[in-house]
Amino acid sequence: MEMVNIKINNMPLSVPKGISILEAARTIGIEIPTLCYLKKINEIGACRICMVEVKGARSLVTACVYPVAEGMEIFTNTERVRKSRKLTLELILSTHDKKCLSCVRSGNCELQELCKEFGVDNENYFEGENPVHEFDDSADHMIRDNNKCILCRRCVAACEAQHISVIGANARGFDTHIGSAFEKSLESVSCVSCGQCIVNCPTGAIVEKDDTSRVLEAINDPSKYVIVHTAPSIRVTLGESFGMSLGSNVQGKMVAALRRLGFDKVFDTDFAADLTIMEEANEFLGRVQNGGTLPMITSCSPGWIKYCEHYYPDMLDHLSTCKSPQQMFGAVIKTWYAKKMGIDPANIVVVGIMPCTAKKFETKRDNQAASGYPDVDIALTTRELARMIKSAGIYFRHLPDEEFDNPLGEGTGAAVIFGATGGVMEAALRTAVEKLTGEELQNLDFTEVRGTDGIKEATYNVAGMDVKVCVASGLANANKVMESVKNGTSEYHFIEIMGCPGGCVNGGGQPIQHAVVRNFVDLRGIRAAALYEADKNLPVRKSHESEAIKRIYDEFLGEPGSHVAHEVLHTSYVKRPKYK
């Protein structure tokens, strides 16, 4: 690697040739502010916040895209630089809807943070005509308010990175705004509800639809029995909303907080993740042994499912018919559990705490009402739960650790790792391999499918058969895998696909992290590592060894793949039009 010698703020250093000034400055602990920059996704120098001085240059340059060169002298904090940044912020604010007190992003807004840092204390410095936009609330999962948009184009880049590209910059000049082609609503285009635009937006221009009032209404209704269940990844991300370090496992405090919010039962979606493995492994073995459609592809991620329905409607028979763990859980609650407890399912409200905005859409899908009532009534994101806890005056960090209610609060290590890319595959292999061979696995760690790489492949010899598997996360990678399957260039038996890059730990409903963290910290890896650590420390690490799972099959389902199991735990898909 060729190195060059430069100076930043008079400090000499040697850095790789061609890296940006922004990256070079980070090597000596200088963070140059940005509003548009997303590493490898949105490197366009549009916001002009990262301007710095370079000796000999006629004007300031954009640090995020300007490459270093031999002998370059850079100044990041001169009076000229600070005046430029402050002026740019004032110009941005001149057309920004400054309703900060009521904005869900207040206190976690990158624009707000920079204005405070650079002393922008006059919101109306550049008064004049302002564009007025109607917000788009047509989608089930989110609201887009262009009155708060700063045209950084991060959302556009995130959507493009997901291989969706249903939003972009419309019009020109003063009228420029983010929207869909022909000003179509989000509901009418092939948005898959993944929410990656939300977690990458620096302001409150894009937010999830807040359903917390519906949950509180149900809790306060004495005629309703309100059950909450939490997805595997929530336990290692929720703490971030309360200032705790990345990867903190706050399962016990989360359970305690949910009880204090007033839920009648606090259960673990891990139970349903184990149930998913039982059904999915059985379905896979059935396809292998009976000449069914291969490769079989997982169906846990609703963003991925909607993507497949829009973009690969001719390949829907490759999808597992299993409902997602969220929906399986609700189905079990309103059938088996309701009967055991003597509760009318009409009076049960099931709330899922999910890492994913697409889960809001999933609750409204067809064929998701095993009891005759919706399997899951309300899906909340991690962020919504954090807001509920804060507004209820619950001191999260000081809560004691409490346990989930039983029996639907039991889960295995296989279920915990569902939140990381490769986790569903590894969990399925732990069960499928033992079922095929009839022998106990000596090593439960299928490390080849772990890690945050976008596409991972592995081949395992099981009972004399080479089983080729593939794991993909992020819809751009899903597209590559699906094209290889469609073209016959890859012959897989089993594929796991997660809609969000890195899996659920990086879902569109997870806590918002500053762009600096998203750019330069292995957010996905740290969160996933916490799940694998939890798996390692659990006494039961295989789904088929869960006593709670054995019980529900003995008492209700019979066996994996039974008629009852198909009625309650399986679903169907629809071909959707593709607009782009």
pLDDT tens digits for 485-534? 999 999 999 999 999 999 999 999 999 999 999 999 999 999 999 999 99
Q: Are 227 and 349 in contact (CB under 8 A)?
A: yes
**Closest to 93 measured CA to CA, from 70, 112, 71:** 112
Q: Are 173 and 58 in contact (CB under 8 A)?
A: no
Q: Can you read off the two tokens belonging to residue 204?
A: 């409150």
- Three-state SS sequence of 464-480: CEEEEEEEEECHHHHHH
- At a CB cut-off of 8 Å and minimum separation 6, what does 572 contact? 321, 366, 367
Tell me: pLDDT of 122 over 50. yes
From residue 236, alpha-carbon distances to 92, 227, 496, 505, 530 in Å are 35, 21, 22, 8, 6
The predicted model gives 242-253 an average pLDDT of 98
Could you identify the residue written with the tokens 């937006």?
201
Average pLDDT over residues 544-550: 96
Task: Give the mean model confidence (pLDDT) for residues 116-131.
Answer: 82
* pLDDT bracket for residue 1 (50, 70, 90): confident
The mean pLDDT value for 67-76 works out to 97
CA dihedral 420, 425, 427, 428 (to 10 degrees): 160
Q: How many helices (H) and strands (E) does the chain have?
A: 20, 17
The overall average pLDDT reported for the chain is: 96
Cα-Cα-Cα-Cα torsion 115, 121, 123, 124, nearest 10 degrees, comes to -140
Q: Given pLDDT bands bounded at 50, 70 and 90, which one contains residue 463?
A: confident
pLDDT (tens digit, 9 = 90+) per residue, 360-411? 999 999 999 999 999 999 999 999 999 999 999 999 999 999 999 998 999 9
Taking CA 561 as the corner, what is the angle to CA 555 and CA 563, rounded to the nearest 5 degrees? Answer: 70
Residue 171 has pLDDT above 60, yes or no: yes
Distance between CA atoms of 414 and 425, rounded to whole angstroms? 10
Tell me, what's the pLDDT at 580? 46
Tell me the two tokens of residue 70: 């031999």
Q: What is the dihedral of CA 548, 549, 551, 553, to 10 degrees?
A: 160
Enumerate residues 6+ apart whose C-beta is below 8 A from 167: 155, 156, 159, 178, 179, 180, 197
Task: Indicate the residue type of 442.
Answer: Q
Q: Residues, the chain, total?
A: 580
d(CA 261, CA 116): 34
- The confidence band for 579, taking pLDDT boundaries of 50, 70 and 90, is low
Domains and CATH numbers, the chain: 3-77 (3.10.20.740), 93-208 (3.30.70.20), 213-569 (3.40.50.1780)
Q: Please give the Cα distance from 240 to 242 (Å, whole number).
A: 5
Q: Report pLDDT for 123.
A: 66
